[in-house]
């Protein structure tokens, strides 16, 4: 019995020696890793490090559009009529097309500017392909609200059931003076606005499907809205100090439009520190500047540093690295 007990105790003694050696080795490895982490040398990466390429700046060409059109605030439908708000800086002709085939609208608009203008003047533009055509003349530097009744010759069923092959209403605005003038580059000749109009078959509320401009050289561009951070309720108060200010710092004016979300909400200083849009958190792919904004050395010098560098003590640096190692930062 005594021999068995001595054998058991010697076996436990040998096992305890192995445990001591293993514990010492583990402590040594842990100390080595801790020293490397303390010096910011991550020998075992604990997270994926993504390298994001900087956003690409899109060079924009600024063109003045003399035409403007939007739906009025009143109820708009085939039954109640259509209310439109239009404005223009020069004498204009408004060409209304009811029930235009979708394919024919774009095929006709993509032709040369001279042919489109000639047919608009002669009231022959899509006249044989649409249900009804109407022209209205407008004066220069005018902003007005237009009310249109659905032509009596049309019925609700003429536009068809969703999905439709006809646009209920298409408006083309063009200027006669541009037709007689010598062609110049980068001039907007025609604005085309496509409307969905509420009726018995399509109960969706009326809205603008799309807007397209045509330049004198024949190029066609799709007009898209820019979403700003300021409210449109106080448009008359143009002297508001908070208007067009950066949503991040609230100090500098908005200078950058983020793509693809089209939010105009940040200044130059804040944009360089962002990877996502502060409004919708969409990744920033590219951008362009508003009103030809260009950063200059004077602007850079006048930008204060909102994050001054504080001199940290050795203990604070060690504490920060320890917190990062433990996952608290």
Tens of each residue's pLDDT in the chain, 329 residues:
556 667 666 766 677 777 778 888 899 888 887 776 666 555 545 455 555 678 888 887 778 888 999 998 888 888 888 899 999 888 889 999 998 899 999 999 999 888 998 888 888 898 888 888 888 888 778 888 888 888 877 665 567 777 788 898 999 999 876 444 555 567 888 999 999 888 878 778 889 999 999 988 888 999 888 888 665 444 444 444 445 888 998 888 898 999 999 999 999 889 988 989 999 999 999 998 886 565 554 444 444 444 444 455 666 777 777 777 766 55
Tell me the CA end-to-end span of the chain in Å, nearest whole number.
60
Is-contact 206 195, C-beta < 8 A?
A: yes
Residues 83 and 154 in one domain: yes
Q: What is the pLDDT of residue 128?
A: 86
Residues 88 and 206 in one domain: yes
Residues 156 and 43 in one domain: no
Residues 90 and 220 in one domain: yes
Residues 159 and 284 in one domain: no
Q: What is the pLDDT of residue 171?
A: 93
State pTM to two decimals.
0.66
Q: What is the pLDDT of residue 140?
A: 76
325 Cβ contact list (under 8 Å, min separation 6): 34, 37, 38
Q: What is the pLDDT of residue 95?
A: 92
Is-contact 130 99, C-beta < 8 A?
A: yes
Residues 117 and 2 in one domain: no
247 Cβ contact list (under 8 Å, min separation 6): 229, 265, 266, 278, 279
Work out whether strand 263-266 and strand 227-228 pair parallel, antiparallel, or are unpaired: parallel
278 Cβ contact list (under 8 Å, min separation 6): 247, 248, 265, 266, 270
Among 255, 254, 248, residue whose Cα is nearest residue 307: 248
Q: Is residue 298 part of a domain?
A: yes
How does DSSP classify residue 159?
A: G
Residues 163 and 275 in one domain: no
Q: Is residue 325 part of a domain?
A: no
Tell me how far apart the alpha carbons of residues 87 and 65 are, in angstroms, rounded to a whole number.
11
Q: Under DSSP, is residue 60 helix (H, G, I), strand (E, B) or coil?
A: coil
Q: Is residue 197 part of a domain?
A: yes
Q: Is residue 316 part of a domain?
A: no
Q: What is the pLDDT of residue 12?
A: 67
Q: Quick one: CA dihedral 245, 255, 287, 290, positive or negative?
A: positive
Residues 117 and 174 in one domain: yes
Q: Is residue 121 part of a domain?
A: yes
How does DSSP classify residue 53?
A: P
- Total domains, the chain: 3
Residues 200 and 88 in one domain: yes
Residue 166 to residues 72, 93, 101, 161, 259: CA-CA distances in angstroms? 22, 23, 4, 10, 32
Q: Is residue 256 part of a domain?
A: yes
Q: What are the φ and ψ backbone dihedral angles of 76, each rounded to 5 degrees?
A: -120, 125
Residues 37 and 131 in one domain: no
Tell me how far apart the alpha carbons of residues 230 and 270 are, in angstroms, rounded to a whole number.
17
Q: Is residue 62 part of a domain?
A: no
Residues 303 and 252 in one domain: yes
Q: Is residue 45 part of a domain?
A: yes
Domain that holds residue 217: 67-224
Tell me how far apart the alpha carbons of residues 168 and 154 are, in angstroms, rounded to a whole number.
11
Residues 213 and 293 in one domain: no
């Amino acid at each position: 019995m005594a021999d068995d007990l001595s054998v058991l105790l010697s076996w436990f003694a040998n096992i305890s020696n192995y445990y001591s050696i293993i514990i010492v080795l583990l402590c040594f490895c842990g100390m080595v890793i801790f020293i490397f982490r303390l010096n910011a040398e991550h020998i075992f990466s604990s997270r994926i490090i993504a390298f994001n390429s900087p956003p690409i700046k899109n060079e924009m060409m600024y063109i003045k559009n003399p035409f403007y059109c939007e739906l009025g605030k009143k109820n708009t439908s085939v039954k109640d009529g259509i209310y439109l708000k239009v404005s223009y800086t020069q004498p204009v002709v408004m060409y209304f097309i009811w029930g235009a085939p979708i394919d024919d609208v774009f095929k006709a608009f993509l032709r040369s500017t001279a042919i489109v203008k000639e047919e608009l003047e002669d009231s022959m533009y899509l006249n044989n392909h649409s249900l009804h055509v109407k022209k209205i003349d407008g004066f220069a530097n005018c902003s007005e609200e237009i009310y249109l009744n659905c032509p009596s010759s049309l019925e609700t069923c003429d536009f068809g059931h969703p999905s439709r092959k006809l646009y209920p209403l298409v408006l083309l605005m063009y200027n006669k003076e541009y037709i007689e003038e010598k062609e110049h580059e980068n001039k907007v000749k025609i604005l085309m606005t496509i409307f969905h109009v509420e009726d018995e078959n399509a109960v969706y509320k009326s809205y603008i499907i799309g807007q397209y401009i045509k330049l004198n050289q024949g190029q066609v561009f799709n007009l898209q809205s820019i979403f700003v951070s300021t409210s449109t309720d106080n448009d008359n108060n143009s002297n508001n100090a908070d208007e067009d200010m950066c949503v991040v710092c609230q100090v500098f004016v908005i200078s950058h439009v983020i793509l693809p979300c089209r939010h105009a909400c940040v200044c130059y200083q804040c944009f360089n520190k962002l990877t996502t849009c502060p409004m919708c958190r969409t990744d920033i792919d590219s951008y362009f500047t508003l009103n030809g904004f260009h950063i200059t050395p004077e602007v850079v010098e006048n930008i204060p540093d909102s994050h001054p560098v504080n001199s940290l003590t050795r203990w604070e640096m060690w504490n920060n690295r320890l917190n990062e190692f433990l996952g608290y930062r």
